[in-house]
Amino acid sequence: MPKLPGFGQNDAIRGLMKLGFVITRQSKHIILEKGDVAISVPRHRSINAYTMGNIAKDAGCTPEEFKKLL
């Protein structure tokens, strides 16, 4: 189980933007890109821990590193 508790969409986006990701599209999900890497963040008030763990992994961070960005 990932060690990230569920955060909101704004927290996830803020953390990804600190890593250099840029918002490219917005619809039911928010797409952030950095070079060849694209990450999809769902628009939910609370994103569960498994999804947050996968977002951190896709961004190239460990859950602990991503948590420090928030």
With a pLDDT cut of 70, the percent of the chain lying above it is: 91
DSSP string, 9-69: HHHHHHHHHHTT-EEEEESSEEEEEETTEEEEEE--SSB-HHHHHHHHHHTT--HHHHHHH
Residue 33 lies in a domain: yes
Confirm if 3 and 63 have CB atoms less than 8 A apart: yes
Q: Does 4 map to a domain?
A: no
Beta bridge partners of 39: 32
Give the pLDDT score at 5. 65
Say if 21 falls within a structural domain.
yes
The total domain count for the chain is: 1
* Residue 41 belongs to a domain: yes
Instruction: Please state, in angstroms and rounded to a whole number, the distance separating the CA atoms of residues 34 and 4.
Output: 22
The reported pLDDT for the residue numbered 69 is 83
Q: Read off the CATH number of the domain in which 49 is found.
A: 3.30.920.30
Give me the chain's average pLDDT, please: 86
Give a yes or no: residue 1 inside a domain.
no
Which residue has tokens 């909101």? 8
User: What would the pLDDT profile of 11-34 be if each residue is shown by its tens digit?
Assistant: 889 999 999 999 999 989 999 999
Residue ranges making up the domain that contains 28 = 9-69
